[in-house]
Homo-oligomer: A and B are copies of this chain.
Amino acid sequence: MVPDEWSIIEDSFHPEYNEITESLMSLGNGRMGQRGNFEETYTGKSLLGNYVAGVYFPDKTRVGWWKNGYPAYFAKVINACNWIGIQVEVEGQLLDLYTCRIEAFRRVLDMKRGVLERECTVEMPTGNRLTIRSQRFCNMVDDESGAIRYTIQPLNFNGQITITPYLDGNIRNRDANYDETFWNEIQKETSFAQGILVLETKPNPYGVEQFQVATGMRFDITVNGKRLDFHSHPIRNEKYVAGKVPLKLNERDELTVYKYATNLSSSNHSAGELIPLTKAYLERITKKGYDVLYHEHTQAWAEKWERNDIEIKGDLEAQQGIRFNIFHLQQTYTGEDETLNIGPKGFTGEKYGGVTYWDTEAYCIPFYLSASGQQVARNLLIYRYRQLGKAIENAEKLGFSGGAALYPMVTMNGEECHNEWEITFEEIHRNGAIAYAIYDYIRYTGDEAYLSEYGLEVLIAISRFWRQRINWSEHKKKYVMLGVTGPNEYENNVNNNWYTNYIAAWTLRYTLYAIEYVQKNGDATSIFSKINFDSESEPSAWQKIIDGLHFPYDEVRDVFLQQDGFLDKELLTVDQISEHRPINQKWSWDRILRSCFIKQADVLQGLYFFEDDFDLGTLQRNFDFYEPMTVHESSLSPCVHSILASRLGMKAKAYEMYLRTARLDLDDYNNDTEDGLHITSMAGTWMSVVKGFAGQRVQDGVLVLDPYLPASWESYSFRIGFRGVTLTISVDRDSIRLVNPSDQSVALKIKGTQEDFVGEKVLNLIDQEIVR
């Protein structure tokens, strides 16, 4: 990939990397998305992928050995109808880049405009040479539609070129558990230059909603810029509609197809109305025409960038990397629909199914809070509130009762979808992250009313879970939590994971605070009565746990212990096993488990979340103990370490960790970009800059900043929204520049000094910290 500040550029075709490139060049608009596939037929390596937000299929669980409590199905993001397809025949010969000699090739994802472009010149096996130019986008304004401009130019012949724009629902998820297809055809229609295909997800025995998606297309054709009066022969096959247009072209003629497509799903519309709505939608966007749609779309992106951009000078790769991350985050989730969430692969692949992991709460919410605003983050919280009933059912399946909630590890509709006992049943710290997100949101926005409206019910249900999950150890004379998996998934079924215990006790404390708040400011009585809450016995039981919970600790090193027995391991550092990395590929699972090596921040995740509870010395000792044992084999690991290293003044370490997160996918560090991008960890990259380098925090309603400049950069600059104001922060070698262009002041503490800030401000920056 060619470095470029605003684009991802492939400037010669590499079929061997095509699936990686397709992932990187994915487009989306929060409502639908697709991988960077070619419009015309391609028989080489390719993962054709089109996705519609909120539409999923419950794929029957596949396991080797069943364990009680496993869910019956795994809700999968479904690969949906292919709407970009344009089949091209040249003199009766199918155009397929895999069989052509490529003379010139350039595929560009223009992140500034949210547009995928391609230009290539090829020679077909027949000797016919032609140039293809395509441009397409998933419309950010009319967000159930996309548009393509596809141009073909014969270079060395006059002849017949047949163009067949089509919709194809004969699609299979690559990771289907039993190699089944997930779609049935319901209806189809074709008319002149128009086709509509209504597919429905197959019936399932789990009572899960069946979704209908109507995909529509309309197309238009110009030759040399002039609209053509053409004949379109409709084709109707199983789950397939097309219009076939045979044309005679002369050498150098430019044939352009404009294809407009829509995806309307029954999750947003009444199923019975899908066809008329699709027709109306097609009519509307076709009337606007390609240029207007393009203009509106790029304008919307310009507005997003105006608010979200991080500008880095002096390091082109870092600039490209951070924009790449922000771009995909904004494509994946726009925050307009509280039933949606952020899938681990967004619209860039189907691996891992589901859409909602604890990544949303731990990594994404801080990004959307600053970059997209309060309502977007609030919708992410409400998503979990809406699924509270299912979380209570989920806990009941595992033997909990009385309104205790265990949120799922992976979900679409609130039902647990994961099926590895050590994760599904044991990686319960996720429940804590969901409680923490409420706190984090309120801390940032000041919206304490959220507690009365939604937050308290969720907090009480999670606290009820912790109470039942924790037991009294007569031996230790302490409360203990047995059999858990912490964020470091390279340990399973351990006792007293420090992080999980900490976030559990914290949840109980915060819930007690929330109860008090709502009792004073809200309608606590009706909430208590709704959920049958005993405001005497339950809080007092929680208080006992808060007071008596066991936290493993090493007196010698004065560090928290990841879990009971951690010190029995052979304590090595990562540099002693460099030839064995990545251990998740080179070591057997049991060897990983027995080793001291850590997949991602675990104790340090706790010190990151709850930094105000610990002094810098404690953070430093734990960082120095754990980070050297950490292999960062989760995409979510480097960012937390980068932020902590920034806080500790370990700038070299912070930058090293930043580099590992920022270009993870662009440089295919984990060798899995072909499956799709690591969307949720992209928020971590953003945090590494804003919370790490710029030291952004919110403390007692005050926005805290403590920026420094990474050594290899000339400057960086970003905007954040905070309590109704958009601030610009720019940092270069000598100074920090702050702008609050509004007339509303912001409580700001920068480099230790607090003020009510409005207008513009420049601090001279003399970097006195020691680079470690």
* Partner-B contacts on A (CB < 8 A): 61-65, 67-69, 397-399, 419-422, 425-426, 471-476, 480, 482-483, 492-495, 564-565, 567-571, 584-594
Contacts and interface: CB of A to CB of B under 8 A. Distances in A.
A483 B567 contact: no
Given A471-B569, A565-B565, A568-B495, A588 B397 contact: yes
Contacts of A473: 567-569
A399 B493 contact: no
Nearest to A65: B420
Contact of A420 (B64, B571, B584): B64
Contacts of A483: 590, 593-594
B565 A564 contact: yes
A588 B399 contact: yes
A357 to B, nearest CB: 15
Main DSSP-derived SS at the A contact region: loop
A61 B480 CA distance: 37
B569 A421 contact: no
22 contacts: A62-B62, A64-B419, A65-B419, A67-B589, A68-B586, A68-B588, A397-B588, A398-B588, A398-B590, A422-B493, A425-B588, A425-B590, A471-B568, A472-B570, A475-B568, A482-B569, A483-B594, A492-B493, A493-B493, A493-B593, A564-B565, A565-B565
Given A62-B64, A482-B568, A495-B568, A587 B472 contact: no
Given A62-B64, A471-B568, 9 more contacts: A62-B63, A398-B588, A399-B587, A426-B590, A471-B594, A473-B568, A474-B567, A493-B493, A493-B593
**Closest 5 pairs between A and B when the two form their complex, measured CB to CB:** A69-B588, A425-B590, A475-B567, A67-B589, A63-B64
Contact of A474 (B61, B482, B571): B571
A590 B421 contact: yes
A124 to B, nearest CB: 37
Contacts of A65: 419-420
A458 to B, nearest CB: 22
A309 to B, nearest CB: 38
A198 to B, nearest CB: 32
A294 to B, nearest CB: 43
Contacts of A588: 67-69, 397-399, 425
A495 B397 CA distance: 29
B426 A68 contact: no
A330 B168 CA distance: 62
A565 B61 contact: no
A720 to B, nearest CB: 38
Nearest to A421: B589
A584 B474 contact: no
Nearest to A480: B568
A591 B571 CA distance: 31
A533 to B, nearest CB: 24
